[in-house]
Amino acid sequence: PYSVRHHEGAGGARRGFWLEGRPVAVVITQEGDDGPVTARAFSNAPLEEIEAPLREAVRLMIASDDDLKQFHKALAHDPPMRQLAERLVGLKPLRIPDLWTALLRALLAQQAGDTRARATAARLARRFGPIVRVDGKAQHVLPDPETVLGLEDPELAEAGLSERKCEYAREIAREIVNRDLDPEDISRLPSDKAVERLVALRGVGMWTAECTAIFCLGEEDVLPADDPGLRKAIAEVYGLPRVPAPEEARTIGERWKGWRSYAAIYLWRSRDDRAPFLPE
């Protein structure tokens, strides 16, 4: 089962990111639940020569290799979660296949509400990012690491970044530009090691690293138990008298081992929450 409708807005689900040094916008549409999925890619630079990595990026974006049947099987002996999965049948993460864009969005979301984080990302993209035309309309893409490294604090502050977030954004950008933080190397690490490597970055805490592992690296078994919304959802789904503490949430999450990332996604959506920090 797979249904883009869980993410779809007007004109299809959309992501803007960087690939092989090019700003790319990808629009995903589907011919009904479980029907064929179409991906259309746009850029202000030629895409023909990166067709192979673009196809792989789209496959990661729609989680095409993740088997939801196995996820449902893993929940078979957990009635509350089984019912939730059946209610949201076909839901998969809509990922950002670009570590830089994912980390920058995560950084903007730290200690900020969803609305505020989206507004900051939009301002940053409009002021300093490239424009990709999608069916004649402007799609603003977040600036690349090189651009962020060249911006002064007052310029970033105008977009809504605090002094600390300016420092952290540049630190992440510098790591990527210098290839000290290599997306391909991280993608080959086990999930716990990948999270550990991301947490080593200044300004990247456990929540940011775990969410990036889920919504960028494609990890299937990561539970961001520090997330308050996730723990509230656990309390609601299981009818608990109080919101569990992070360690209690991790203990509960042991029953979804192997698919804890997916369980988190379904729990967030159970409260009508979108995946943290990533939607356009």
Q: Which of 176, 104, 168, 178 is nearest to 142 (CA)?
A: 104
Q: Output the pLDDT for position 275.
A: 52
pLDDT in tens, 80-125: 999 999 999 999 999 999 999 999 998 988 766 677 888 899 999 9
pLDDT in tens, 166-200: 999 999 999 999 999 988 899 899 989 999 999 99
Q: Output the pLDDT for position 272.
A: 72
Question: Is 274's pLDDT higher than 90?
Answer: no
- With a pLDDT cut of 70, the percent of the chain lying above it is 95
- Rounded average pLDDT over 233-245: 97
Q: Output the pLDDT for position 276.
A: 53
pLDDT classification of 20: cutoffs 50, 70, 90: very high
- Rounded average pLDDT over 262-279: 76
Please indicate, yes or no, whether the overall pTM of this predicted structure exceeds 0.75: yes
- Residue-by-residue DSSP string for the chain: ---GGGT--TTSEEEEEEETTEEEEEEEEESSTTS-EEEEEEESS--GGGHHHHHHHHHHHTTTT--HHHHHHHTTT-HHHHHHHHHTTT--------HHHHHHHHHHHTTS-HHHHHHHHHHHHHHHS-EEEETTEEEE-PPPHHHHHT--HHHHHHTT--HHHHHHHHHHHHHHHTTSS-HHHHHTS-HHHHHHHHHTSTT--HHHHHHHHHHTS--SS---TT-HHHHHHHHHHHT-SSPPPHHHHHHHHGGGTT-HHHHHHHHHHHTTPPPTT---
- Rounded average pLDDT over 146-165: 93
Q: Output the pLDDT for position 43.
A: 97
Question: Is 158's pLDDT higher than 50?
Answer: yes
Q: Which of 7, 13, 1 is nearest to 269 (CA)?
A: 7
Q: Output the pLDDT for position 279.
A: 46
- CB-CB contact of 94 with 13 (8 Å): yes
Q: Output the pLDDT for position 277.
A: 47
Q: Output the pLDDT for position 187.
A: 87
Q: Whats the size of the chain, residue-wise?
A: 280
